[in-house]
Structure 1
């Protein structure tokens, strides 16, 4: 018989499921977190839960926040189970489950006044974010786009903001006006220099209507850069059923993930921070080498296997890694084209890291989907693939395999797999990208002409030729034969 997860049933958990390890009444709030999705609960929330269980930093409980309709749904589900989460950690030979309880509340996304009031509370010393790579209003060059309609709307009415950055800025204004020191803003998204990007978004919004406020933000608010890593698939009815069947717990939104986890963070928290180093977080003066390694090898690797996997009608990531051509493509691409333009990382063997990433991708228990990896390519390609292209071109190195990644993305955006199965819209810019992909079947430049994605690469002859050759090969001979050609240096 299974139990429904809630505060009142914590004492009734099956022996195979461990509890939080602390009493909720001993925790007080210190963090507001925007974007309470699966990754946050598998990563930041898990680290904090472990820390609280040690009796440490219990004044840094989490208050959830969000602005989208999906946030409202998440809040509804979590509120019904007292903001508890079942975390299921999986490897090929083992599966464990435990309940996390670091979240104390989740502010209604339809109540911005309550959220701003909470942000202005001196008790809140850190505001963190996981809002996905596409949520930062960046243009093709990676600069903040102050002309975006949502930013323009917030700038015109900062007292009633609609974006995450508007809400954070409103909270900072309230603190400044009350003489309360500003909180630190900690980005946990996969973006190069994510702290700087977040600062540019908040200060950039302020710049639209108050240059003095923008200067104050840049001079007084800390934005530590960080690198986060844990493969965390989306939750479906499959995961809910597995949890209930295997562990006897009913959870409306459990989180399944791998056992591996990593967090590298710059130590810049003027109002204090949790003692995260006691639960495995690495604090460094400069996170850039670590984040570049992860973004290009892991996230870039995800993009490399996603689109051939999708075109070949492969459902799960581990199944893609079981396809010898895809696994070999990933290994060759990473070793020969990506790693050579990744700077050295302290105490890290990049080839060993590459092998570890491949092993993690192949974990059959995770059941991460190819569809999830294909999501939001228009935001992910410029962050995970194209920077390696730019670096290689700058030193005269070939970009054959990297161009193939984007060519396969283009073929995917045509809207049908090679078997003819339809591909559902999977990008916020899907209609425009699909139109360009259809035109690119006859004219590859039609895809590269999306300058907001490809930037100056659209005018680089070497890249254009490599992309065109790869795309024509995919259309003429199919994904499988194209991968063989690349592996045999015939592309």
Structure 2
């Protein structure tokens, strides 16, 4: 019989899944988290669940914070099961489920006063976020964009904010007025120097309405950098059905993820933090080497396989890795162009790290999809691919493969696969990118006009030449033949 997940049914769920070793009712609030989607529930929440299972840190429970309209649906689904989540961890050769309970509430979108009061609560010592790469209001160089309409609006109405950063500022303002020490602000997104970027946006927004307050934040608020990693696909009916069929648990929004997880972080928490080092989090003086390795090799790898796979009508990531041309393309690009310019990482072999990534990408149980990897390229390309291109160009090195990745992205935005299948985009800049990609069939430079994406790279003669030739080849020869030419070192003009 299927168990409908709730606190009342936890004992029944333990027949097929691990359940908390602690009583969720005894937890108390310590963290406000923006963005309670799948990655958060498979990552930060898992580490906290691990810690709580040791009997420690029970005053660090999570209160979720909703901002986007979609967060309302998430809240209703999770509230109906007492904010429990079933996490299914899948390695290539094994699968296991666990019910986690570190979240005790979610404040719904629109409940602004309640959320600001929770941010001002002295028990709130950390405010964390997973709001995706596009949620930080920054340009291609990683600088705060004060002209963004959402930032302009929040600056005009600081007491009625609508964005994550406006809400954080409102909470900090109340704490300052009440003489309560500020919380630590912790980004858990895939952005180079995510703590520094978060600080730039928070202080940049504050400056638009109150320069003195911005200075106070600079002097008093901590923004630790961190590197996070776990492949976590979106949840669909497939995952809900698998959980019911294989584990007899009915969960409104379960999370499926790989077994591997990693979290590397700076130890900058003036009001204290959970003892996460006891459950596998690495606290290091400098996150940058780990972060750069992950962004370039793993996230860059995802971007590398996404667009040829879309053009060849491949849906799942593991199927892309089973395609000999795509797997060989990834390996050649990584080993010849990406890995050689990644700086050394303490106690880490970059070649072994790539081998691990290949293993992870090949995992057939995850069900990670190519459309997920291909989405939001206007925010991901400037962070995962183009920095490697820029660094190689700065060193006088060639960029045949990296230019091909950019050309594949352009060809993808023309809107159809090689077979003529219509491609569905998920990108805030999709309309202008598609218009440019169609023009680029005849004039490749038409796609390189977006400074917020390509930055200084678009002005480099070698990049423009390599990009133009790769794009022309994709249109005349098709994706498979273009990959063959690249693998044979014949994609050079």
Give the shorter-chain TM-score range: over 0.9
Q: CA deviation at 1:229?
A: 0.3
- Distance in 2 (alpha carbons) for counterparts of 1:391 and 1:81: 48
CA distance in 2, matches of 1:319, 1:280: 31
Shift of 1:306: 0.4
Partner of 2:10: 10
Instruction: Report matched runs for 1:114-129 at 5 Å.
Output: 114-129=114-129
d(CA) in 2 for partners of 1:92, 1:457 = 39
- Which whole-Å deviations, capped at 9, do the CAs of 1:199-256 have from their partners, x for residues lacking one? 0010000011111111111111000000000000000000000000000000010000
CA contact (8 A) 2:158 2:209 kept: no
Q: Distance in 2 between matches of 1:20 and 1:309?
A: 40
Structure 1 residues 84-483: aligned runs within 5 Å: 84-483=84-483
Secondary structure (helix, strand or coil) at the match of 1:99 reads: strand
1:14/1:247 contact within 8 Å kept: no
Q: Is the 8 A contact 2:90 2:258 kept in 1?
A: yes
5+ unaligned residues in a row in structure 2: which ranges?
Answer: none
Partner-residue secondary structure (3-state), 1:138: coil
Higher mean displacement: 307-316 or 133-142:
133-142
Q: Does 1:23 align with 2:23?
A: yes
Aligned-partner Cα distance in 1 for 2:216–2:463: 42
Separation of aligned partners in 2, 1:212 and 1:156? 16
Measured in 1, the distance between the counterparts of 2:328 and 2:216 equals 51
Aligned-residue offset at 1:25: 2.0
Shift of 1:8: 0.8
In structure 1, runs of 5+ residues without a counterpart are none
- The alignment partner of 1:128 has SS state of strand
Task: Give the Cα separation in 1 of the matches to 2:66 and 2:143.
Answer: 23
Q: How far off its partner does 1:411 sit?
A: 0.6
Q: CA deviation at 1:341?
A: 1.1
For residue 191 of structure 1, give the secondary structure of its aligned residue in structure 2. Answer: coil
SS at match of 1:95: strand
- Asked whether the 8 Å contact 2:87–2:255 carries over to 1, the reply is yes
Distance 1:267 1:451 in 2: 35
What SS does structure 1 have at the residue aligned with 2:442?
A: coil
Distance 2:107 2:355 in 1: 42
TM superposition outliers: structure 1 runs of 4+ over 3 Å: none
1:38 maps to which residue? 38
SS in 1 for 2:478: helix
TM-score, normalised to structure 1's length?
0.99
After superposition, the C-alpha distances for 1:339-359 in whole angstroms (9 at most, x for unaligned) are 111100000000000111011
> Contact 1:34 / 1:164 at 8 angstroms: preserved in 2?
yes
Deviation at 1:14, TM superposition (A): 4.6
3-state SS of 1:209 partner = coil
For 1:344 and 1:103, locate their aligned partners in 2 and report how far apart those are by CA, in whole Å: 37
Q: What does the per-residue CA deviation read over 1:402-444, in whole Å, with 9 as the maximum and x for residues that have no partner? A: 1111110111111111111111122111101000000001110
1:368-419 Cα distance to aligned partner (Å, 9 max, x none): 0000000100000000000001100011000110111111011111111111
Structure 1 position 140, deviation (Å): 2.1
**1:299-348 CA deviation, whole Å, 9 max, x = no partner?**
00000000000100001000000001100010010011001111000000
Whole-angstrom CA distance in 2 between matches of 1:344 and 1:425: 36
Q: Distance in 2 between matches of 1:5 and 1:461?
A: 58
Secondary structure at the counterpart of residue 127 of structure 1: strand
TM-superposition CA deviations, 1:67-94 (whole Å, max 9, x none):
1011111111111111000000001211
Does the aligned pair in 2 maintain the 1:231–1:257 contact within 8 Å? yes
Take 1:272 and 1:357, find their aligned partners in 2: how far apart are those partners?
34
Deviates more, 1:10-19 or 1:357-366: 10-19
- d(CA) in 1 for partners of 2:147 and 2:451? 17
1:14–1:220 Cα change, 3 Å: closer
The CA RMSD over aligned residues, in Å, is: 0.6
Measured after TM superposition, the shift of residue 461 of structure 1 is 0.4
CA separation in 2, counterparts of 1:445 and 1:454?
Answer: 12
Alignment partners' CA distance in 2, 1:477 and 1:29: 58
Could you tell me how far apart the structure 2 residues matched to 1:371 and 1:140 are?
A: 23
